[in-house]
C-alpha cells in the first residue's frame, strides 16, 4: 500500500527560490521567486471576484493557454488590483525582467501579488528586487508572500511513485478576506513527480471545492486569489495520467496536502485564537453538506460564541435552518467537541461548564447529523475576536 511521509520543508528536485526585501514595506521580505530547471506542467484555480487582479488574470491566461510554467515571481504589500491598463503593463514588465534574467520565454513566467488593493506597483523597487533574486535552496519565499499572516504555512510530503521518490512541497498565505471561491489567499504546490497537465488540472479543480473553497475567516472574497500546481517531472517516474494506476494515490496525496494548507489558513485567521472544524453528516447531497458546514463556520454569531467559549448551540441551529438545504428539523443532532447538545432537534441536558471548558482548546469540533441521507461535508473557520476588528480598522493606514 502506498503511503506518504511528512518531512522538513524543502524544495523538490529541480526547484530553486529566493526572496528579498525590496522595500515595498518597512522591514519584511516582499519580493521572491520560484524557478524550475525545466518547464513544468501547470494547473490553476482562481478568484471568482469580478475585480480580478492583473497578475491573477495573467496567470489564468498563461496556464489555460500553455499548461506549463517555469518560474513564478511574487510580491506582497501591493495587490496590483483595480489598476487598469497600467497594472497589466506592470505584469508584462515583471514577466520580461524574469524571463531575461533566466533566459526563458516570458510566457513561462507566472506573476502573483497580494496586499493593498487599488495601489500601483512601485516598479523601480520591483526592478531592483527582481534583479537581486538568486537561485538558491532557501525557503524565504514562503515568508515573502505573507501579509497579516502570523506564520508561514508549509507542508512537505514524500512518496514513492512507480518506484521513484517524489517530493510534494506546498506553501500558502492567507489570514483575512478569506471566503474562497477563492479568498485573499495564495497557494502553491510544486513537485518533481511527472504528472500530465490535464491530470493536474482535473485533480485541482475537483479538490479545491472540498479544501480551499471550504474555509472562511470573514466572508469576504478577494481579487487576487489563486492556487497553482507545478510538476516538473525530474523524479523521472512514468507520467501520471487520469488512467494510470498511480492516479488514485496521487489524488489522495493532493487531497491531504491541500486540506492541511487550507486548515492552516483558517487557523491563522486575522486575530483568531482557535480553529473551528464543522462536519455535517447525513445530508441529501454532498453539496448541501458542504453548504451547511461552511455556513456554520462562517456565521459571525457562531464564531463569536466560540471565541467566548459559549456553548450557545442555538446559533448553530439557526444557521443550519437559514440555508435552503433539505432536512427535517426534528431529526437534527448537534455535538460540540463530541458532547451531544441537541438530539432530534431538541435540547439534551449537558454540563455547560464542561462544554465551555472544552471550547477553550485550540481546535473546536462541531458535528451535525441531519439524518436525512448519507452525504458528508466539512468546512473550517476560526473564531471572531476583538483583534480582527482592530487589524481591519487600520489596514491601509
- To the question of whether residue 147 is assigned a binding role by annotation, the answer is yes
Contact 150, 262 (CB under 8 A): no
* Residues β-bridged to residue 6: 157
Give the pTM: 0.86
Q: How far apart are CA 234 and CA 229, in angstroms?
A: 15
Q: What pLDDT tens digit does each residue of the chain (397 aa) get?
A: 469 999 999 999 999 999 999 999 888 999 999 999 999 999 999 987 788 899 999 999 999 999 999 999 999 999 999 999 999 999 999 999 999 999 999 999 999 999 888 899 999 999 999 999 999 999 999 999 998 788 899 999 999 999 999 999 999 997 654 344 434 579 999 999 999 999 999 999 999 989 888 887 544 456 778 899 999 999 999 999 999 999 999 999 999 999 999 899 888 777 788 999 999 999 999 999 999 999 999 999 999 999 999 999 999 999 999 999 999 999 999 999 999 999 999 999 999 999 999 999 999 999 999 999 999 999 999 888 888 777 767 655 5
The 10 Å CB-count burial string (b at 16+, else e) for 166-205 is bbbbbbbbbbbbbbbebbbbbbbbbbbbbbbbebbbbbbe
Could you give the residue numbers annotated as active site?
184
CA distance to 79, 86, 91, 394, per residue, from 210 (Å): 26, 36, 31, 33
Residues in the chain: 397
Residue linked to cell 528579498: 20
Sequence-separated (6 or more) residues with CB below 8 Å from residue 213? 180, 181, 182
CA distance to 14, 25, 79, 129, per residue, from 97 (Å): 21, 21, 19, 11
- To the question of whether residue 397 is assigned a binding role by annotation, the answer is yes
Q: Taking the mean position of all CA atoms in its chain, how far away is CA 139?
A: 18
Question: What domains are there in the chain, each with its CATH number?
Answer: 4-267 (3.60.70.12), 275-393 (3.10.20.340)
| Nearest 10 degrees: Cα torsion 192, 208, 303, 274 | -10
CA distance to 68, 248, 267, per residue, from 244 (Å): 21, 8, 36
Question: How many H helices and E strands in the chain?
Answer: 11, 15
Which of 254, 150, 132, 141 minimizes the C-alpha distance to 193? 254
Contact 393, 228 (CB under 8 A): no
- To the question of whether residue 392 is assigned a binding role by annotation, the answer is yes
User: Using only C-alpha atoms, what is the Rg of the chain?
Assistant: 22
- To the question of whether residue 101 is assigned a binding role by annotation, the answer is no
Q: How far apart are CA 109 and CA 8, in angstroms?
A: 27
- To the question of whether residue 5 is assigned a binding role by annotation, the answer is no
The 10 Å CB-count burial string (b at 16+, else e) for 305-339 is bbbebbbbbebbbebbeeeebebeeeebbbbbbeb
Ordered strands of the 333-336 beta sheet: 346-347, 339-343, 333-336, 363-369, 275-283, 375-382
Residue linked to cell 511521509: 5
Amino acid at each position: 500500500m502506498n503511503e506518504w511521509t511528512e518531512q522538513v520543508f524543502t524544495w523538490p528536485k529541480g526547484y530553486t527560490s529566493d526572496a528579498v526585501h525590496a522595500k515595498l514595506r518597512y522591514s519584511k521580505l516582499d519580493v521572491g521567486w520560484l524557478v524550475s530547471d525545466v518547464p513544468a506542467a501547470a494547473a490553476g484555480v482562481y478568484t471568482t471576484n469580478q475585480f480580478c487582479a492583473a497578475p491573477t488574470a495573467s496567470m489564468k491566461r498563461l496556464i489555460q493557454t500553455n499548461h506549463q510554467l517555469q518560474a513564478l515571481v511574487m510580491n506582497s504589500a501591493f495587490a496590483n488590483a483595480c489598476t487598469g491598463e497600467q497594472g497589466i503593463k506592470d505584469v508584462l514588465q515583471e514577466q520580461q525582467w524574469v524571463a531575461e534574467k533566466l533566459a526563458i520565454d516570458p510566457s513561462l513566467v507566472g506573476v502573483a501579488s497580494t496586499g493593498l488593493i487599488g495601489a500601483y506597483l512601485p516598479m523601480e523597487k520591483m526592478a531592483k528586487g527582481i534583479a537581486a533574486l538568486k537561485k538558491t535552496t532557501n525557503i524565504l519565499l514562503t515568508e515573502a508572500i505573507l501579509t497579516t499572516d502570523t506564520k508561514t504555512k508549509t507542508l512537505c510530503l514524500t512518496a514513492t511513485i512507480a518506484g521513484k521518490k517524489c517530493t510534494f512541497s506546498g506553501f500558502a498565505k492567507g489570514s483575512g478576506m478569506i471566503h474562497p471561491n477563492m479568498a485573499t489567499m495564495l497557494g502553491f504546490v510544486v513537485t518533481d513527480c511527472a504528472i500530465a497537465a490535464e491530470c493536474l488540472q482535473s485533480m485541482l479543480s475537483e479538490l479545491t471545492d472540498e479544501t480551499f473553497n471550504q474555509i472562511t475567516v470573514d466572508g469576504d472574497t478577494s481579487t487576487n486569489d489563486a492556487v497553482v500546481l507545478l510538476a516538473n517531472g525530474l523524479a523521472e517516474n512514468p507520467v501520471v495520467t487520469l488512467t494510470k494506476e498511480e492516479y488514485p494515490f496521487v489524488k489522495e496525496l493532493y487531497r491531504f496536502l491541500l486540506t492541511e494548507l487550507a486548515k492552516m489558513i483558517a487557523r491563522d485567521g486575522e486575530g483568531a485564537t482557535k480553529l473551528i472544524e464543522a462536519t455535517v453528516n447525513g445530508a441529501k447531497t454532498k453539496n448541501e453538506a458542504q453548504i451547511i458546514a461552511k455556513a456554520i463556520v462562517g456565521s459571525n454569531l457562531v464564531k463569536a460564541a466560540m471565541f467566548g467559549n459559549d456553548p450557545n448551540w442555538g446559533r448553530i441551529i439557526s444557521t443550519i435552518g437559514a440555508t435552503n438545504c433539505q432536512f427535517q428539523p426534528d431529526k437534527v443532532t448537534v455535538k460540540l467537541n463530541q458532547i451531544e447538545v441537541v438530539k432530534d432537534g431538541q435540547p439534551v441536558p449537558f454540563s455547560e461548564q464542561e462544554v465551555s471548558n472544552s471550547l477553550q482548546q485550540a481546535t473546536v469540533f462541531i458535528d451535525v447529523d441531519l439524518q436525512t441521507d448519507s452525504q458528508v461535508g466539512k468546512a473550517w473557520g476560526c473564531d471572531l475576536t476583538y483583534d480582527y476588528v482592530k487589524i481591519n480598522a487600520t489596514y491601509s493606514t
